Chains A and B, each alone.
Chain A
Amino acid sequence: MKSPAKSNSSKSTVDSIIKVALVEDQKDLCRSWVQIIESFGGFKCICTCASAEEAVCEIPNALPDVILMDIRLPRMSGIECTSRLKELLPETPIIILTVLDDDELIFRALEAGADGYLLKRSKPADLHAALLDVLEGGAPMTSSIAWRVVRSFRRPPANPRNQAHLSSREIEVLGLLSRGLSNKEIADQMSLSVETVRSYLKTIYEKLHVHCRTEAVMRYAANRSASAMPAPPNTREKFTAA
């Protein structure tokens, strides 16, 4: 709840250069990603991590504007890493990178708090577009993901205390999406602007994250950060902010 101001201020101070953090365990791929991202102009890779453990440790200090996260990492997975980073940096968007177009895997990452996903084989232009989109608060959603979201909300929440309900408008958006309509078509049909549809999707993702979040993961994350890291991330955050 304190991050928005912070991230806005950081963006403005570094001449609107967008800071990207990258979590990718394969060195060659990591190098290529950095080169591609920096070729866009206005983007800078300020932090690359070869493992989820390293990411949980380093990224809260680096304070990037956006995080690119490989889903398949040794030991701790990208999904769990996403979940922990979301607790530490709730406002920083995370884009999942995946080799495999595995719907369920992607959906689990979205449940964990990811804001979007991208296949690694996507064109650089698509990556550029996705980065810009997510920074503007966009939330890409395909029909199959929409279908899964609806199903996920039919199940009871992972933790009864985290009750999240979709509004009737949100359900309508999801329904149209799962029938194959694009954001623009949905906007036309519901007499809304595309922006509003996008904001609905963003809210849906946030609610999904709340709906699927468990207290246990948070406690575990807190314990891990207290014991395994040199200093608790919160104090470090304060330290760097000062």
Chain B
Amino acid sequence: MLFCLTASIASARTDGSSISAVSNYPAIYVAKPEPELTNGLGCWIWDSVTLNKQTVRLWHNFDVPKGNPVVRAELRIAADNAFKVWLDGQELGSGSDWRTLSIYHLEGTLRPGLHVLAVEGFNDNDQAGIILGLRLETANGQLIRIRSDLTWHIVPNSDNHWETALHPANDWPNASVAANFGRMPWWSIPTSVLHIREELPKPISIWQNRNFQIGLLVGCAVFVAVCIYLLIQLVSQSKAHHLVQAERDRIARDIHDDLGSKLTQLLLTGELAQIESSPARGTPLAQMCDGARNILATIDEVVWTVNSQHDNLEDFVIYVCKYAQQFLESSSIRCRFNIPQELPTKILSELTRRNLFLAMKEALNNAVKHSEASELKVQIEFNGSRLNIIVVDNGRGFDSEQTGQNRNGLTNMKLRMAEIGGDCRVVSRPGGGCQVSFRVPLKQSSFFKSLFQSRNHSGSKARFPSHREGVSSPEKTIGESSY
């Protein structure tokens, strides 16, 4: 016995260094193996056949009950000739001396649920076996023991990921008992004991969780993709916006340069013919000249509407006032304006401008035709984000209640205002003049829009930059103002 003890000390010292080199775990050596160390061990198990240079895989699962934390866990294992052990697919360690009992302290790793213990044994020659015992102690004193016995399964060497499989496959046979504990040729007391304490795994932070990391990565990728998509949308939209503007400007320029000058030439020829023949007023020649003049005025309106330079409130107000003054010049109605000197910088789309202008025109037309007024006032005001245009005359008026709001001209005005999200109100009573109010919501000129606007303005500062050349090469002008 004394001899045995000294031998075990020697063997522990000599073997210790080689084992600790294999294992990553800090090891503590116990000089004197105590008898209770072998408590809870099963029997030596192996495959039904024993061969030289044989690898045998042993597999067993066990359950840790919920609501009952494991406070102590020890796995004791020895193998002839060598073993490697995994818990839940994670390698615990290995050993290659059949006389040494390795004790793994597993507190903290075993959470409630199903666990898998997997052992790979290797036999160099002659007899082979693996002996082990897992002893779990829960907080309320319950003991769970797993021993090496016939309930273990032998896993065929061809199977992959067997060390993580939670349930045995059908073709996994049960293990065979090579020898009961204490029987020859193996020990009843190990010559040395190796304690291996696993360092408590640090609680994994959420950002260290693999799934979380993958999720985060995917999230980032999706975000970047969405950003790129939106950016492309924005760029293409602004490109389209520029192209439309450039095209509108080109149309305006073409109308002006071609149609405008040719018609002017025609008009002047007509005027000359009139001068030379000096006919009385109202002759066909004079009518023709007046017709040409009207067409030129209409061209003016079209060019003004189409030209994107005028997509702003200020140009609109100026244009409308000028139109009103010119329109009423030939009538007996005086025209008065009430316009704030400072107009806010707002974008007025072509649609809004056109509809608002045509509605205004209708109102002026009605005044000249029906009102018999001596004065007409155009009042423009801003009420927060609303533009109000009020046309008041001092004419004979009509009963707006009785006539209803359904007269042709009024319907037209209402339709035009509805198209741009505004409304139109006509208030009149016999002898009390007539008041037509148009109300339109104004969009705040956003950063991007103002950016486009400013680029557009700087792009074609010289209004119709090229003269005749501009007409012959529309591609050039599009390129100029859009990029």
A-B interaction: yes
**How does the 8 Å CB contact mask read for A129-143 relative to B, with 1 for contact and 0 for none?**
000000000000011
Known contacts A39-B275, A77-B462; decide if A144 and B265 are in contact (CB<8 Å): no
Closest to B464 in A: A72
Q: Which of B261, B267, B318, B337 contacts A26 (CB 8 A)?
A: B261
Question: Does residue A54 face the partner (Cβ distance < 8 Å to B)?
Answer: no
Which 10 A-B residue pairs are closest in the complex by CB-CB distance? A32-B268, A99-B260, A144-B322, A121-B296, A74-B467, A180-B336, A180-B335, A120-B264, A144-B318, A180-B337
Question: Does residue A15 face the partner (Cβ distance < 8 Å to B)?
Answer: no
Q: Quick check: B318 and A148 within 8 Å, CB to CB?
A: yes
CB interface residues, B 301-326, toward A, < 8 Å: 303-304, 309, 315, 318-319, 321-322, 325
Q: Quick check: A143 and B256 within 8 Å, CB to CB?
A: no
Known contacts A74-B467, A74-B468; decide if A104 and B339 are in contact (CB<8 Å): no
**How does the 8 Å CB contact mask read for A115-126 relative to B, with 1 for contact and 0 for none?**
000011101100
Q: Quick check: B264 and A29 within 8 Å, CB to CB?
A: yes
Closest to A122 in B: B293
Residues of B within 8 A of A150 (CB): 341
Q: Quick check: A101 and B272 within 8 Å, CB to CB?
A: no
Residues of B within 8 A of A178 (CB): 337, 339
Question: Which residues of B line the A interface, CB within 8 A?
Answer: 256-257, 260-261, 264-265, 267-269, 271-272, 275, 289, 292-293, 296-297, 300, 303-304, 309, 315, 318-319, 321-322, 325, 334-339, 341, 462-464, 467-469
Question: Does residue A147 face the partner (Cβ distance < 8 Å to B)?
Answer: yes
* CA of A60 to CA of B246, assembled, Å: 39
A33 to chain B, nearest CB (A): 7
**Interface range on chain A: under 10, 10 to 19, 20 to 34, or 35 or more?**
35 or more
Q: Which of A32, A33, A99, A143 contacts B325 (CB 8 A)?
A: A143
A204 to chain B, nearest CB (A): 16
- Which applies to chain B's interface (DSSP): helix, strand, loop or mixed? helix
Residues of B within 8 A of A36 (CB): 268, 271-272, 275
Question: Does residue A236 face the partner (Cβ distance < 8 Å to B)?
Answer: no
Known contacts A29-B265, A144-B322, A178-B337; decide if A100 and B303 are in contact (CB<8 Å): yes
Question: Does residue A179 face the partner (Cβ distance < 8 Å to B)?
Answer: yes
Closest to B338 in A: A179
Q: Quick check: A123 and B271 within 8 Å, CB to CB?
A: yes
Residues of A within 8 A of B336 (CB): 179-181
Known contacts A142-B325, A144-B322; decide if A26 and B300 are in contact (CB<8 Å): no
* CA of A180 to CA of B391, assembled, Å: 14
Q: Quick check: B256 and A99 within 8 Å, CB to CB?
A: yes
Q: Quick check: A147 and B339 within 8 Å, CB to CB?
A: yes
**How does the 8 Å CB contact mask read for A97-109 relative to B, with 1 for contact and 0 for none?**
0011111110000
Residues of B within 8 A of A74 (CB): 467-469
Q: Quick check: B264 and A73 within 8 Å, CB to CB?
A: no
Q: Quick check: B303 and A144 within 8 Å, CB to CB?
A: no
B236 to chain A, nearest CB (A): 31
* CA of A32 to CA of B265, assembled, Å: 8
Residues of B within 8 A of A28 (CB): 265
* CA of A120 to CA of B268, assembled, Å: 9
A-B contact pairs, 13 of them (CB 8 A): A35-B272, A39-B272, A39-B275, A99-B296, A104-B315, A121-B296, A123-B271, A123-B293, A142-B325, A144-B319, A179-B338, A180-B337, A185-B334
B381 to chain A, nearest CB (A): 15
* CA of A25 to CA of B334, assembled, Å: 39
Residues of B within 8 A of A148 (CB): 318
Known contacts A32-B265, A36-B271, A178-B339; decide if A73 and B318 are in contact (CB<8 Å): no
Closest to A127 in B: B271
Residues of B within 8 A of A219 (CB): none
A233 to chain B, nearest CB (A): 25
Q: Quick check: A29 and B268 within 8 Å, CB to CB?
A: yes
Residues of A within 8 A of B293 (CB): 121, 123
Q: Which of A104, A105, A121, A185 contacts B267 (CB 8 A)?
A: A121
Question: Does residue A151 face the partner (Cβ distance < 8 Å to B)?
Answer: yes
B184 to chain A, nearest CB (A): 113
* CA of A36 to CA of B336, assembled, Å: 35
* CA of A147 to CA of B339, assembled, Å: 9
Closest to B255 in A: A100
* CA of A39 to CA of B322, assembled, Å: 31
Residues of A within 8 A of B319 (CB): 103, 144
* CA of A28 to CA of B325, assembled, Å: 32
Closest to A74 in B: B467
Closest to B468 in A: A74
Closest to B318 in A: A144
Residues of A within 8 A of B264 (CB): 29, 99, 120-121
Q: Which of B268, B300, B318 contacts A100 (CB 8 A)?
A: B300
Residues of B within 8 A of A105 (CB): 463
Known contacts A32-B268, A121-B264, A143-B325; decide if A100 and B335 are in contact (CB<8 Å): no
Q: Which of B275, B338, B468 contacts A124 (CB 8 A)?
A: B275
Residues of B within 8 A of A39 (CB): 272, 275
* CA of A185 to CA of B335, assembled, Å: 12
Closest to B307 in A: A102
* CA of A26 to CA of B258, assembled, Å: 12
* CA of A72 to CA of B252, assembled, Å: 14
Residues of A within 8 A of B467 (CB): 25, 72-75
Residues of B within 8 A of A185 (CB): 334
